[in-house]
Amino acid sequence: MTPQSQTTRFAPSPTGYLHLGHAFSALFAHEAAKKSGGRFILRIEDIDPVRCRPEFETAIYEDLAWLGLEWETPVRRQSEHLAEYRTALDRLDEMGLLYPCFCTRKDIAGEIERSGHAPHGPDGLLYPKICRAMGQAEQDERMGQGQPYALRLDMAKAQRLAGQLTWRDLVWGERRAEPDRFGDVVLARKDVPASYHLAVTLDDHLQGVTLVTRGEDLFEASHLHRLLQFLLSLDVPLWQHHALLMGPSGQRLAKRDKAETIRSLRERGFSADEVRRLAQSQKNR
């Protein structure tokens, strides 16, 4: 059953200026919350210290306010919650579901070339499990030497524990979760003690999000998020993945397409109403 009032969120990463696709996505989440009499949350997904910049975060607030959106404050900024992601990782570790991975991109590429086998997952080539069988002594030694490592999920073990899970998208219906498409996915990066998948899943739970709305480009991620929800005993929301806006030549809008940013439209004299309509009409093209 669909609960009547929904808590939705828009969760941009401050890695560039918001474009029309973001406007559509934010308006979509905002409307879903408002029409159900629920809550709308804005969250800043800024765990990547290299790609995220304060000026883009400021621009997010300005652009969304200009578009007429209102959100709850204080806004959750993921970079301020690394300790919570750490706690979740510790829990998965205690369950024996994580292993450290010391591989560089080159190690992984080399192994894939040697094996002649390169299955693809939603986030790229699947990890060939080089570090999974590493003994405790070698792990301790390499950590002792200060070698950087990521933490990976032992997908086979995790799936055995979870059994067959399902999740529900309001448009696409009931889905069987297929998290193994991601292989032994990274849950804590070498440079950040978290990953997009871990942080977003935990945050949606902690913030009481009941309906995850986002673009179809993240549809596959929901298979994995469903598994993480099971492993960490998190609430399971509903999902609604919406179509992506396309640029004039049919390409996906990206942050680098400057002409399509909300602020460039504003600077060119468009009103907020016009930009809202433009976002809607592009979706319906």
Provide, rounded to whole angstroms, the least separation between the CB of residue 136 and ligand GLU: 35
Among 7, 13, 195, 240, binds ligand GLU (CB under 6 A): 13
CB 231 within 8 Å of CB 225? no
Position among 76, 214, 223, 226 found at the interface with ligand GLU (CB under 6 A)? 214
Residue 62, number of CB atoms within 10 A of its CB:
15
Q: What are phi and psi of 80, to 5 degrees?
A: -90, 5
End-to-end CA distance of the chain: 32
Selected from 162, 218, 232, 234, the binder of ligand GLU by CB under 6 A is 218
Residue closer to ligand GLU by CB (options 192, 200) is 200
Find the shortest distance in angstroms from Cβ 86 to ligand GLU. Answer: 20
Question: Which residues 28-57 are close enough to bind ligand GLU by CB under 6 A?
Answer: 45
> Within positions 108 to 127, which residues make up the interface with ligand GLU, using CB under 6 A?
none
**13/282 with CB nearer ligand GLU:** 13
Question: In angstroms, rounded to a whole number, what is the distance separating the alpha carbons of residues 255 and 20?
Answer: 10
Q: What backbone phi and psi angles, to 5 degrees, belong to 10?
A: -120, 130
The encoded tokens of residue 261 equal: 């940013």
Strand positions, DSSP E, the chain = 7-10, 39-44, 76-77, 98-101, 120-121, 124-125, 150-153, 166-169, 173-176, 186-188, 211-215, 238-242
Q: Which of 6, 8, 12, 71 binds ligand GLU (CB under 6 A)?
A: 12
Report the 10 Å Cβ neighbour count for 147. 12
Of the pair 8, 282, the CB lying nearest ligand GLU is at: 8
Q: How far apart are CA 246 and CA 264, in angstroms?
A: 17
Contact between 128 and ligand GLU per CB under 6 A = no
Task: Give the interface segment with ligand GLU, choosing from 7-15, 86-94, 235-243, 257-265 (CB under 6 A).
Answer: 7-15
CB of 67 or CB of 131, closer to ligand GLU: 67
Contact predicate 151/119, CB 8 Å:
no
Within 152-211, the residues that bind ligand GLU by CB under 6 A are 200
Binds ligand GLU by CB under 6 A, chosen from 6, 7, 8, 11: 11
Contact residues for ligand GLU, defined by CB under 6 A: 11-13, 45, 200, 214, 218
